[in-house]
């Protein structure tokens, strides 16, 4: 599996916060890139290329949560678009983890790994994604963007992430004793 933290053909997002001095066209271009990456993530989920999709999702997570301050400003004309953005983001997280669970169950029943280009995410990568999400959500709480309609559905995401890790341990032996301790650490949030 390739390194999911490296930029793909679409590159990485700028990490700085967007303020009023940055041009609207810069924001529009960056948002268009975000939308491209969201679409790519859903395509990867649909096609069962979860290793690639997980990398895309982690990049958009870091970008979105790193730029959340710009997304919480009162801007009535953009309210509907922002709700859509958060819903797509949360749905991507829930979808990739649900697909991972399904593929792990299929692997356990058939005794066979997915055929390339399909892939599942590695246990350690999912665990790392969970820790990253929890840390980012901790920094988001000051904006009121955790477990609300406009924000990260952290409880739901962590619940399915934990179930996915538990399933992987049960069916593949992934994680072992250190994995059980790490999954518990993600749950403790």
150 vs 176, higher pLDDT: 150
In 3D space, the residue among 130, 124, 119 whose CA is nearest the CA of residue 160 turns out to be 130
Tokens 């395509």 found at: 43
Helical pair 123-140 and 79-110, crossing angle rounded to 10 deg? 160
pLDDT band at 37 (very low <50, low <70, confident <90, very high): very high
Give the pLDDT score at 23: 58
What mean pLDDT, rounded, does the chain reach?
Answer: 79
pLDDT tops 50 at residue 189: no
Residues 6+ apart with CB under 8 A from 6: 55
pLDDT tens digits, residue range 64-118?
877 776 766 656 777 788 888 889 999 999 999 999 999 999 999 999 999 999 9
């Amino acid at each position: 599996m390739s390194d999911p933290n490296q930029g793909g053909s679409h590159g990485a997002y700028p990490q700085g916060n967007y303020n009023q001095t940055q041009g609207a066209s810069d924001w529009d271009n960056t948002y268009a890139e975000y939308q491209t990456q969201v679409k790519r993530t859903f395509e990867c989920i649909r096609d069962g290329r979860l290793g690639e999709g997980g990398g895309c999702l982690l990049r958009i997570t870091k970008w979105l949560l790193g730029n959340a301050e710009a997304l919480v400003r009162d801007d009535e004309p953009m309210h509907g678009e922002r709700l859509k953005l958060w819903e797509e983001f949360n749905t991507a997280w829930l979808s990739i983890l649900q697909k991972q669970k399904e593929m792990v169950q299929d692997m356990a029943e058939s005794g066979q790994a997915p055929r390339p280009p399909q892939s599942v995410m590695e246990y350690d990568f999912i665990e790392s994604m969970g820790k990253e999400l929890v840390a980012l959500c901790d920094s988001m709480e000051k904006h009121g963007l955790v477990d609300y309609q406009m924000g990260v559905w952290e409880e739901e995401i962590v619940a399915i992430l934990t179930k996915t890790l538990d399933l992987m341990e049960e069916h593949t032996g992934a994680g072992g004793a250190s994995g059980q301790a790490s999954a518990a650490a993600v749950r403790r949030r």
